[in-house]
């Protein structure tokens, strides 16, 4: 019978259950949105800086933590907003620039550096015999050899003009 104590109790239980379900749904939506934002930040950092952005032990990550701590120490940001996407992106950008400036991005011990990078001589003019051999291969149908021969001829011509002061 409507209006009895059992009916009122059931209605109160439905109201409380609906409120709890609504709270759970809003919490779930907020967590889903926060996770989507975190995934987007991770994707951006990985695209920009590679796997070093995800590796907690990498120099880039360590430098980023130093940069963010510097922001906090200087009073530019608070501990509460230190993890915002904007601050994290800015810190990664600054850290990457600092690492690139100090030690050329971690390549200082790489044996594959060119002679110019390591301070030893420059490129010598291309050997005339090598150009002639490439031109012969080009006549036989090797397009790549023809391109290389033309590139070497052009390099020789430009180097000669530079040497005579014709161009800078």
Q: Which residue has the higher pLDDT, 126 or 46?
A: 46
State whether residue 100 is helix, strand or coil: helix
Q: pLDDT confidence of 63, banded at 50, 70, 90?
A: very high
This prediction has a pTM of 0.47
Tell me the two tokens of residue 133.
Answer: 């051999």
Average pLDDT over residues 4-28: 86
Under the banding of pLDDT at 50, 70 and 90, the label for residue 74 is confident
Q: 63: which residues sit within 8 A by CB, 6+ positions away?
A: 95, 98, 99
Residue 102 confidence (pLDDT) above 80: no
């Amino acid at each position: 019978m409507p209006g009895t104590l059992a009916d009122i109790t059931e209605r109160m239980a439905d109201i409380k259950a609906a409120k709890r379900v609504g709270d759970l749904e809003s919490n779930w939506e907020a967590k889903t949105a926060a996770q989507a934002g975190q995934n987007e930040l991770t994707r951006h950092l990985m695209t920009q800086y590679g796997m070093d952005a995800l590796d907690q032990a990498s120099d880039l990550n360590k430098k980023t933590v130093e940069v963010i701590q510097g922001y906090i120490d200087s009073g530019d940001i608070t501990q509460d907003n230190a993890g915002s996407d904007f601050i994290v992106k800015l810190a990664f950008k600054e850290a990457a620039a600092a690492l690139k400036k100090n030690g050329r991005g971690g390549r200082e011990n790489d044996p594959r550096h060119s002679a110019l990078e390591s301070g030893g001589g420059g490129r010598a003019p291309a050997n005339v015999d090598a150009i002639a051999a490439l031109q012969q291969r080009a006549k036989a149908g090797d397009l790549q050899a023809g391109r290389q021969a033309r590139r070497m001829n052009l390099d020789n011509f430009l180097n000669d003009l530079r040497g005579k002061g014709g161009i800078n």
